[in-house]
């Protein structure tokens, strides 16, 4: 039988598995025949080498027919290969489908933001459509109380009463400007939910800068606020009548609470939810009413249940609505802004934070005369004596802050960045700002590059005994778009005017911030929440400081740096950074995949 075997079977035995080798060891006939075959054919022809694989396959199959052990093992290998190919194919299909269905999301790597590429051409006025359809707002969704997943946040929840009862009354003082108050109100609702307490309508209390006596109902729609949140937190308009010593709730003292041990303990900034369960709740149950004042940043973000963060978004984006007259006036200002040239045009809203107080508080160095810098040094020494000290360390501090991007952008710097991005000089710009430090001279570069920034009005002045016309520049603000009579009703409260600025900036085609603050954070967050379509430009001040300080950089290189740097800094979808930017980027806790 061995002599009748096809010669190619011996060739296949050289590349097959161990059973052939065992046959070679035990059968001298096979060994002799193989040796004779090799001697008869010492060298393969090129045609034989090309067909070697197919000869090996044939010998493999013919040999497997004769040896059942080899046939069984070969079938196992074939089955394994088929299974491997099937699994690899499924993985590839799922990977492709996952890529096609995965939402658009930018990933932050340190300070760099990496975003998926899109095929659409870049636009000055809108983010790419394909980048803005993956997410939708879902903070209005109610999931019924604290979920089981969040139970690890509350280690001692046995003292919490049922949801149809109340632990007591919580009274909050919301201090600062309009936007700081807004955040405090959102946090107050969240704290009341954590302790299952009844929230008394918060009191809006301005600090020394905002000398204004505005009530909650002067700015926000109270009925909508209470009704919208009725399934989350019980809210009442006034302090209960049975509580007689109401003056105790309004005394100007530091925020404190009395624990069961009767020790005074400050509420820390960004306190976790468990802190209120362990410390504030016992006091509320004992005294029935608890006052927290001031109430600024007294609740954390990544140390509270996800449902609480979602509730904060529900308050911010759905429950807190401005009064109808404020909304209507803002719509009128927006309409006039879009039609300033007689035909509909997009407009940009610029939050220019370069007031004297902001410049002084920043402790940064800016271009100016010796007299200006001397006056600023005196101002800083008067307002912030502990930080100023003797002033010898301020120059090094100013250089470090500018390098780190912690200095406000000057109007001229803003103008250069916007022109480098490609915005033409005809761009319509609405300015939300206080009195710009440096006045007309400081605004000149921005005005020259963007003439539609405002108006130039002749003002008669007496100069050397004769009256001459001096032309002064006035940026486009709400005061320029509306008459004194139209704004008269809103001048009663500073926060009403701030609300108009907020809404005009919120409804703009492009919003540009020049420095941090609650105003810019809340606007960028709200524009992201409604779909990321509207551009919200956040300049990279650190990188721009390097470019501005490079005397050898040409305009072309500067434009390239600006465009590349700010491609991803326009309010695109990205994960919420832990701990602090819920108001600027609500995506992770408050938005869902579309």
Look at residue 143 in the predicted model and tell me its pLDDT. 55
Look at residue 154 in the predicted model and tell me its pLDDT. 46
Look at residue 161 in the predicted model and tell me its pLDDT. 55
Euclidean distance between CA atoms 255 and 259, whole angstroms = 13
CA dihedral 201, 202, 206, 212 (to 10 degrees): -10
Token duo for residue 99 = 């890529």
Look at residue 434 in the predicted model and tell me its pLDDT. 83
Asked if residue 456 belongs to a domain, the reply is yes
Residue position matching structure tokens 């991007």: 405
Euclidean distance between CA atoms 292 and 5, whole angstroms = 98
Asked if residue 495 and residue 549 are part of one domain, the reply reads yes
Look at residue 342 in the predicted model and tell me its pLDDT. 81
Asked if residue 284 and residue 412 are part of one domain, the reply reads no
Asked if residue 487 belongs to a domain, the reply is yes
- As for how many domains the chain has, the answer is 2
In the three-class reduction of DSSP (H, G, I as helix; E, B as strand; rest coil), residue 25 is classed as: helix
- Give me the CATH number covering residue 269: 3.40.50
Look at residue 98 in the predicted model and tell me its pLDDT. 53
The DSSP H or E segment spanning 137 is strand 135-137
Least confident of 230-239, 256-265, 416-425: 256-265
Band of pLDDT at residue 91, cut at 50, 70 and 90 = confident
Asked if residue 199 belongs to a domain, the reply is yes
Average pLDDT over all residues of the chain = 79
The contacts of residue 229 (CB under 8 Å, 6+ apart) are 189, 235, 314, 315, 319
Look at residue 509 in the predicted model and tell me its pLDDT. 96
User: In terms of Cα–Cα distance, which of 139, 117, 106, 104 is closest to 575?
Assistant: 106
Look at residue 230 in the predicted model and tell me its pLDDT. 93
Asked if residue 550 belongs to a domain, the reply is yes
Euclidean distance between CA atoms 290 and 243, whole angstroms = 12
Asked if residue 104 belongs to a domain, the reply is no
How many C-beta atoms surround the C-beta of residue 454 within 10 A?
Answer: 20
Mean pLDDT value of segment 35-58: 45
Q: Which domain holds residue 310?
A: 162-319
Look at residue 180 in the predicted model and tell me its pLDDT. 92
Asked if residue 294 and residue 343 are part of one domain, the reply reads no
Mean pLDDT value of segment 242-258: 56
Asked if residue 447 and residue 307 are part of one domain, the reply reads no
- CA distances (Å), 298 to each of 68, 264, 267, 276, in order? 78, 16, 7, 10
Asked if residue 279 belongs to a domain, the reply is yes
Highest mean pLDDT among 47-51, 421-425, 440-444, 575-579: 421-425
Look at residue 22 in the predicted model and tell me its pLDDT. 41
Asked if residue 504 and residue 435 are part of one domain, the reply reads yes
Highest mean pLDDT among 234-248, 251-265, 378-392, 419-433: 419-433
Euclidean distance between CA atoms 59 and 533, whole angstroms = 66
Asked if residue 418 and residue 459 are part of one domain, the reply reads yes
Asked if residue 587 and residue 460 are part of one domain, the reply reads yes
Band of pLDDT at residue 71, cut at 50, 70 and 90 = low
Asked if residue 195 belongs to a domain, the reply is yes
Band of pLDDT at residue 256, cut at 50, 70 and 90 = very low
pLDDT of residue 213 exceeding 80, the answer is no
At 459-510, the pLDDT tens digits run: 454 555 555 444 455 788 898 899 999 999 898 888 899 999 999 999 999 9
Cis peptide before 294 (omega within 30 of 0): yes
DSSP-based helix, strand, coil % in the chain, nearest 5: 50, 15, 40
Euclidean distance between CA atoms 168 and 196, whole angstroms = 8
pLDDT of residue 560 exceeding 50, the answer is yes
Mean pLDDT value of segment 4-9: 39
The contacts of residue 294 (CB under 8 Å, 6+ apart) are 173, 175, 205, 255
Euclidean distance between CA atoms 322 and 219, whole angstroms = 6
Check residues 61 and 123 and name the one with the higher pLDDT. Answer: 123
What pTM does this model have?
A: 0.77
Band of pLDDT at residue 415, cut at 50, 70 and 90 = very high
**Burial class of residue 474 in the structure, from the number of CB atoms within 10 Å of its CB (0-12 exposed, 13-18 middle, 19+ buried):** middle
Buried b (16+ CB within 10 A) or exposed e, 32-41: ebbeeeeeee
Check residues 88 and 258 and name the one with the higher pLDDT. Answer: 88
Asked if residue 283 and residue 186 are part of one domain, the reply reads yes
Look at residue 550 in the predicted model and tell me its pLDDT. 87
Asked if residue 488 and residue 347 are part of one domain, the reply reads yes
Token duo for residue 196 = 């299952």
At 505-525, the pLDDT tens digits run: 999 999 999 998 899 999 999
319, 341, 370 - which closes a domain: 319
319, 339, 363 - which closes a domain: 319
DSSP class per residue in 276-307: IIIIIHHHHHHHSEEEE-S-SS-S-STTS-HH
pLDDT of residue 318 exceeding 80, the answer is yes
| Alpha helix positions (H), 174-305 | 178-195, 216-219, 222-228, 273-275, 281-287
Asked if residue 571 and residue 495 are part of one domain, the reply reads yes
Look at residue 43 in the predicted model and tell me its pLDDT. 45
At 16-32, the pLDDT tens digits run: 444 334 444 444 334 44
Look at residue 15 in the predicted model and tell me its pLDDT. 36
In the three-class reduction of DSSP (H, G, I as helix; E, B as strand; rest coil), residue 128 is classed as: coil
Asked if residue 582 and residue 539 are part of one domain, the reply reads yes
Asked if residue 339 and residue 261 are part of one domain, the reply reads no
Token duo for residue 199 = 């929230």
Asked if residue 366 belongs to a domain, the reply is no
Check residues 136 and 44 and name the one with the higher pLDDT. Answer: 136
Band of pLDDT at residue 207, cut at 50, 70 and 90 = low
Token duo for residue 120 = 């659409």
Look at residue 248 in the predicted model and tell me its pLDDT. 60
Check residues 152 and 538 and name the one with the higher pLDDT. Answer: 538
């Amino acid at each position: 039988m061995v002599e009748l075997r096809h010669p190619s079977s011996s060739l296949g035995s050289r590349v097959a598995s161990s059973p052939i080798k065992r046959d070679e060891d035990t059968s001298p006939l096979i060994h002799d025949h193989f040796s004779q075959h090799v001697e008869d054919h010492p060298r393969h022809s090129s045609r034989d080498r090309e067909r070697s694989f197919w000869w090996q396959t044939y010998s493999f199959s013919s040999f497997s027919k004769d040896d059942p052990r080899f046939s069984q093992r070969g079938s196992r290998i074939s089955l394994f290969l088929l299974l491997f190919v099937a699994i690899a194919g499924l993985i590839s299909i799922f990977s492709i489908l996952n890529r096609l269905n995965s939402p658009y999301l930018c990933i932050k790597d340190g300070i760099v933001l990496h975003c998926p590429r899109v095929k659409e051409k870049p636009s000055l006025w809108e983010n790419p459509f394909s980048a803005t359809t993956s997410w939708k707002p879902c903070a209005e969704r109610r999931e019924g109380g604290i979920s089981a997943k969040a139970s690890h946040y509350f280690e001692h929840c046995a003292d919490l009463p049922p949801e149809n009862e109340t632990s007591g009354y919580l009274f909050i003082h919301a201090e600062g400007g309009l936007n700081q108050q807004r955040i405090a109100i959102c946090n107050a609702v969240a704290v009341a939910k954590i302790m299952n307490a009844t929230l008394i309508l918060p009191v809006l209390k301005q600090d020394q800068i905002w000398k204004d006596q505005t009530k909650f109902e002067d700015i926000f729609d109270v009925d909508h606020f209470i009704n919208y949140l009725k399934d989350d937190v019980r809210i009442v308009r006034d302090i209960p009548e049975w509580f007689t010593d109401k003056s105790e709730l309004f005394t100007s003292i530091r925020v404190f609470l009395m624990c069961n041990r009767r020790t005074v303990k400050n509420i820390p900034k960004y306190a976790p939810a468990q802190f209120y369960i362990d410390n504030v709740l016992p006091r509320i149950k004992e005294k029935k009413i608890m006052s927290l004042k001031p109430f600024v940043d007294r609740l954390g973000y990544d140390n509270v249940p996800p449902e609480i963060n979602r509730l904060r978004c529900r308050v911010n984006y759905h429950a807190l609505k401005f009064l109808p007259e404020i909304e209507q006036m803002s719509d009128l200002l927006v309409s006039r802004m879009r039609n300033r040239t007689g035909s509909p045009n997009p407009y940009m809203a610029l939050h220019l934070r370069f007031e004297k107080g902001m410049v002084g508080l920043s402790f940064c160095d800016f271009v100016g005369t010796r007299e200006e810098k001397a006056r600023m040094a005196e101002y800083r020494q008067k307002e912030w004596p502990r930080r100023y000290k003797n002033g010898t360390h301020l120059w090094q501090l100013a250089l470090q802050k500018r390098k780190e991007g912690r200095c406000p952008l000057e109007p001229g710097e803003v103008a250069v960045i916007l022109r480098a991005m490609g915005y033409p000089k005809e761009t319509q710009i609405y300015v939300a700002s206080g009195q710009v430090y440096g006045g007309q001279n400081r605004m000149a570069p921005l005005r020259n590059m963007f003439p539609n920034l405002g108006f130039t009005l002749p003002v008669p002045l007496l100069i050397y005994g004769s009256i001459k016309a001096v032309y002064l520049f006035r940026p486009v603000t709400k005061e320029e778009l509306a008459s004194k009579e139209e704004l008269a009703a809103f001048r009663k409260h500073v926060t009403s005017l701030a609300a108009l600025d907020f809404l005009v900036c919120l409804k703009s085609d492009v919003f540009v911030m020049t420095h941090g603050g609650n105003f810019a954070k809340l606007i960028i967050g709200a524009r992201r929440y409604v779909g990321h379509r509207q551009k919200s430009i956040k300049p990279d001040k650190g990188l721009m400081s390097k470019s501005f300080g490079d005397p050898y950089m040409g305009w072309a290189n500067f434009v390239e740096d600006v465009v590349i740097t700010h491609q991803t800094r326009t309010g695109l979808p990205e994960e919420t950074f832990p701990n602090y930017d819920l108001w600027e980027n609500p995506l992770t806790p408050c938005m869902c995949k579309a």
